[in-house]
Amino acid sequence: MKPLKVLAKHGEWTLRQRDNVFIVQHQGRIVSTSKQDGHEGDLVRMGLARASNSAPRILVGGLGFGLLLRAVLDDVGDGARITVLEPSEAVRAWNEGPLAELSGNAIHDDRVQVESGDALVFLSKHRNKFDAVLLDIDAGPFEVQVDDDMSLYSIGGFSSLKAALDKGGRLAIASRTTQSGINKRLRECGFHATAEKVGERYVFTGDL
């Protein structure tokens, strides 16, 4: 097996590569890899199913390797506006550099705006702003900490996401596991919640 090649470092974050696979590590722990299983397209298809207007406003939770953003861009028209909430300056810089080709330079598309900073603070300033919110638990930057009300996947986080969605909006979350309790928390926050197994992933949806 070929050794991992270090492409870039930014504080406690490291971008490595082995053959055609990119790996992001935080404090030496693997956070995500660019191995593709096609679930991004499923998340986009289900997440945007209710956003039927010609200019949907979409929030994507995290850049990752730019693959989810690429799937969104390939699915929507020129009138769409996509905001990506990415707290890591390193990940943003890598998407503009060594990872740009992987996503087809998605971050530089005119329809895309990247925001940094605290997720809940951002959401509090953007009420009724989005038609759809897409989150990928496995590849996104937000950890599942249900007992921490500052987590995006807690009651407080889901309430903030609900407030950021416009009437008729949808929150869609992809995960490799069943994530026990997500639907219960979504319902407690006023969403109509469902879960569906799609390929190797589960997609949870919360509708207003």
Mean pLDDT by 10 residues, the chain (208 residues): 81 87 84 80 95 90 93 96 93 92 95 94 96 91 73 93 97 92 94 94 96
Of 138, 134, 135, nearest in space to 48 by CA: 134
Can you tell me the distance from the alpha carbon of 142 to that of 135, in angstroms, rounded to the nearest whole number?
9
Can you give the pLDDT at residue 151?
A: 86
Fold exhibited by the domain 36-207 = Rossmann fold (3.40.50)
Can you give the pLDDT at residue 27?
A: 84
Can you give the pLDDT at residue 132?
A: 98
Can you give the pLDDT at residue 168?
A: 95
Can you give the pLDDT at residue 10?
A: 83
Q: What tens digit of pLDDT does each residue of 75-120 get?
A: 999 999 999 999 988 889 999 999 999 999 999 999 999 999 999 9
Can you give the pLDDT at residue 150?
A: 67
Can you give the pLDDT at residue 138?
A: 82
- CA dihedral in degrees (85, 87, 93, 98; nearest 10)? -80
Domain boundaries, the chain: 36-207
